[in-house]
Amino acid sequence: MEESNKKQIDNKVEVLPGVGPKRLEALHSLGIFTIYDLLTHFPFRYEDIQVKSLDEIEDQEKVTLKGKVVTQAVVNYYGNRKSRLSFKLAMEDAVVSVSFFNQPYLKSRIHLEEDIAVFGKWDSLRQNLAGFKILGSDPSSDEQKDFESVYHVNKSIKQQTIINLLKAALESYYDLIPEVIPEEFNQHYKLMLHKDAIRAIHFPQNEEEFQQAGRQITYQEFFLYQMKLQLLRYKRKKGSKGTAVLYDVSKLKEFIQTLPFELTEGQKQVVNEICRDLREPFEMNRLLQGDVGSGKTIVAVISLVAAALEGYQGALMAPTEILAEQHYQTISQLFEDTNFSVALLTGSTKVKERKQILEDLSLGNLDLLIGTHALIQDDVIFNNLGLVVTDEQHRFGVNQRQKLNEKGQNPNVLYMTATPIPRTLAITLMGEMDVSTLKQLPAGRIPIRTIWSKSEQMESSLEFIEKQLLQKRQAYIITPLIEESELMDLKNAKEVHERVSSYYQGRWKVGLLHGRQKADEKEQIMQAFKNNEYQVLVSTTVIEVGLNVPNATVMVIQDAERFGLSQLHQLRGRVGRGSVESFCILLANPKTENGKERMKIMTSSTDGFYLSQKDLELRGSGDLFGVKQSGMPDFKYGDIVKNANVLDAAHSDTIYLLSKEDFFDSAEYMPLREYILNGQTHTKKLQ
Ligand code: ADP
Ligand code: MG
């Protein structure tokens, strides 16, 4: 039959009986378009169905009752096609009635004198169980446990409809569910077939089967996602469209000699990783993650110099003017006794100067252009762009980063981030990149001392700050993020500013920074703080992550329990940048155990990687600072925190597969190749 020839797992879901236009619309709104979408619309929870006795259950509770059928089942019809099936069930200590509505066909499954288990809702007044379903083939077993899947639904579609559709889909499409995981991994991890996992995840026979199904689905989901990322990485490295920057190594070493400090071991290693990539014909696509203050800037500068030594131009983009300017000042100094030229381009660059810069840039008279988003404007044309560096990369959208990269012909790309992220997140979000990590801080840094005090201790915090101010230091006071309303933030920040200003009146100047100010106003205030025109800066969380004011030695964070660990760490990183001891005071009265735990962790660790891992564990991936914007895939089943080990395994398995010489030829891998090249993974969003 022609029709059956076309039966495929990605057939439209409306081929199933009973899916009319209205239902179809409801399914679409749940993201279900194909049969496979439906089959991978996983239950979001299961009701654990346990057999209980009557004295254990409450009115209206959903339970399973077990007993002997002691009356013949009778069906009464009433109204328009409505019916009620009822019978009596003898349990150990009582006889109860059971009724099923509008399922007259169940009558054939209920036999006098037989043991039976029924799942339903208990009505204690009527001593009646409104049955939902008849359970299990062997109700005599005491071990019996059953699950009822619960699905995400919406107003126009019911649980039972989803369940019925799933049953119909499994009936006709079970054999068509593709098996793409290579046999070697199935065996190694003892995975069940995907088709069986799909069936069992919806209709598990027992707990063990349900667990095994979850294992297969999680692994497959992560595996296919990693396969996509690793394929991108593989193709980039195999291709030779990039720029091989064969700079003179001894000249680069000479430049490194001129730096005011010795590189840390970590910096040396990372510089090596980057420079090795630069010399290869593929385009580098590398993430440099390092804790706040770990010295990423200098690594970027050395890489840019390597490119410049071979006559390639470089671009360094930062998210705000103040950061771009900071970089410009640092780098101009480092370039002072060299032949390298550098310019700064931002929104406030004067027209005439801008014109000159753009001309130099297009003629190739400029080695390095530093700037903000201004770098991605259309009329910014490089002569020979070889290396693009994006600082605080998570602050830019994918498109903005891409636009800068397109200003050269497959230039080498280095992304930098001061938001260390746990490995599991890194391989999910950035698995297609190579990652360099700076763990160590430059020697001689004195760790920030962090103290947790009660919120009422504001006054003594101000006294503490004053002692530092008297030693010519500066201080930050951070006011909390109030999720519900930016206006509340502002009100609160203003109040704190007033209070602090009047406390220090006539002695110290206090600045205020908040989200409602215009960009240039913010920049002005930060600049003024840098210049020590303000000794104290009251700020909401808009305070710039890369802001470098080494003279600031105290930070007080109000209502610190409202922040996540990573964010507290980022904020705290504004101090501890100079050569004297710095302090961070967390004012917090956390009400939850989780909140107390976070405060304790903050006082005991300054390791950004450790903190981000803890953050992930305590708050889940969705809340992790800086991750929301970065295009987190929404896995349908796997949880990258709970199933981190599966993710890790899937990651290395895909790398191993692609390193096999026969991956692209062997018949063994054909289903997988077809699936990843033509099909889609469970995961909708691939950034
Ligand atoms: P981040 O990684 O947060 O961007 P920066 O690059 O701004 O950190 O560096 C922080 C500070 O550490 C800067 O003042 C920089 O000059 C200094 N620094 C960087 N590397 C070293 C080093 N190897 N030894 C001493 N100081 C260093
Ligand atoms: Mg930085």
Domain ranges for the chain, please list them: 50-144, 180-239+642-681, 249-438, 449-619
The finding on whether 492 has its CB within 6 A of some atom of ligand 1 is no
HSE (side-chain half, CA atoms, 13 Å) at 144: 19
Highest mean pLDDT among 46-60, 261-275, 320-334: 261-275
Q: Residue 292 — pLDDT band, cuts 50, 70, 90?
A: confident
Question: Which of 268, 288, 294, 297, when mutated, tests ligand 1's pocket best, judged by the most ligand atoms within 8 Å of its CB?
Answer: 297
Q: Would the pTM of this model clear 0.75, i.e. be above it?
A: no
Average pLDDT, integer, range 588-614: 91
254-280: buried (b, 16+ CB within 10 Å) or exposed (e) per residue?
ebbeeeeeebbebbebbbebbbebbee
Q: Which residue has the higher pLDDT, 48 or 369?
A: 369
What secondary structure letter does DSSP report for 660?
Answer: S
Q: Report, in angstroms and rounded to the nearest whole number, the Rg of the chain calculated over CA atoms.
A: 32
Q: Residue 566 — pLDDT band, cuts 50, 70, 90?
A: confident
113-146: buried (b, 16+ CB within 10 Å) or exposed (e) per residue?
eeebbbbbebbeeeebbbbbbbbbeebeeeebbb
Q: What does the pLDDT read at residue 147?
A: 62
Return the structure tokens found at 580.
């004297």
Per-residue pLDDT tens for 157-192?
Answer: 887 889 899 999 999 999 999 999 999 999 999 999
Distance 256 CA to ligand 1 centre (A): 14
Q: What is the spatial order of strands in the sheet that 434-438 belongs to?
A: 342-345, 368-371, 313-317, 385-390, 412-417, 285-290, 434-438
Distance between CA 380 and CA 361 in Å, rounded? 8
Distance 390 CA to ligand 2 centre (A): 10
The finding on whether 294 has its CB within 6 A of some atom of ligand 1 is yes
Domain 449-619 in this protein, CATH class: alpha beta
Distance between CA 484 and CA 494 in Å, rounded? 17
Q: What is the spatial order of strands in the sheet that 583-587 belongs to?
A: 449-453, 583-587, 552-557, 474-478, 536-539, 510-513
Element of type H or E holding 75: strand 74-78
Instruction: Specify the residue for token string 């069940």.
Output: 192
Average pLDDT, integer, range 249-271: 94
Could you say which ligand is closest to the alpha carbon of residue 316? 2
Q: What are phi and psi of 640, to 5 degrees?
A: -70, -15
Q: Residue 235 — pLDDT band, cuts 50, 70, 90?
A: confident
The CATH number of the structural domain formed by 249-438 is 3.40.50.300
Fold of 50-144: OB fold (Dihydrolipoamide Acetyltransferase, E2P) (2.40.50)
> Which residue from 320, 364, 368 is spatially nearest to 344, judged by alpha carbons?
368
Q: Which residue has the higher pLDDT, 387 or 145?
A: 387
pLDDT at 642 over 50: yes
Give the CA-trace dihedral at 419, 423, 427, 428, to 10 degrees: -70
Same fold, 249-438 and 449-619: yes
- The region of weakest confidence among 48-52, 573-577, 612-616 is 48-52
Q: What does the pLDDT read at residue 477?
A: 97
Q: Residue 483 — pLDDT band, cuts 50, 70, 90?
A: low
Distance 336 CA to ligand 1 centre (A): 18
Per-residue pLDDT tens for 361-388?
Answer: 999 999 999 999 899 888 999 999 999 9
Task: Tell me the pLDDT of the chain averaged across its residues.
Answer: 86
Q: What does the pLDDT read at residue 141?
A: 41
Give the number of the atom of ligand 1 that is nearest the alpha carbon of residue 296.
Answer: 2
Distance 220 CA to ligand 1 centre (A): 42
pLDDT at 620 over 80: no
> Which residue from 650, 649, 645 is spatially nearest to 683, judged by alpha carbons?
650
Per-residue pLDDT tens for 421-456?
Answer: 777 777 777 778 888 989 888 887 888 999 999 989
pLDDT at 626 over 60: no
The finding on whether 474 has its CB within 6 A of some atom of ligand 1 is no
Q: Residue 270 — pLDDT band, cuts 50, 70, 90?
A: very high
Q: Residue 632 — pLDDT band, cuts 50, 70, 90?
A: low
Per-residue pLDDT tens for 300-320?
Answer: 999 999 999 999 999 999 988
Q: Residue 117 — pLDDT band, cuts 50, 70, 90?
A: confident
Q: What does the pLDDT read at residue 682?
A: 43
Q: What does the pLDDT read at residue 340?
A: 95
Q: What does the pLDDT read at residue 3?
A: 47
The finding on whether 264 has its CB within 6 A of some atom of ligand 1 is yes
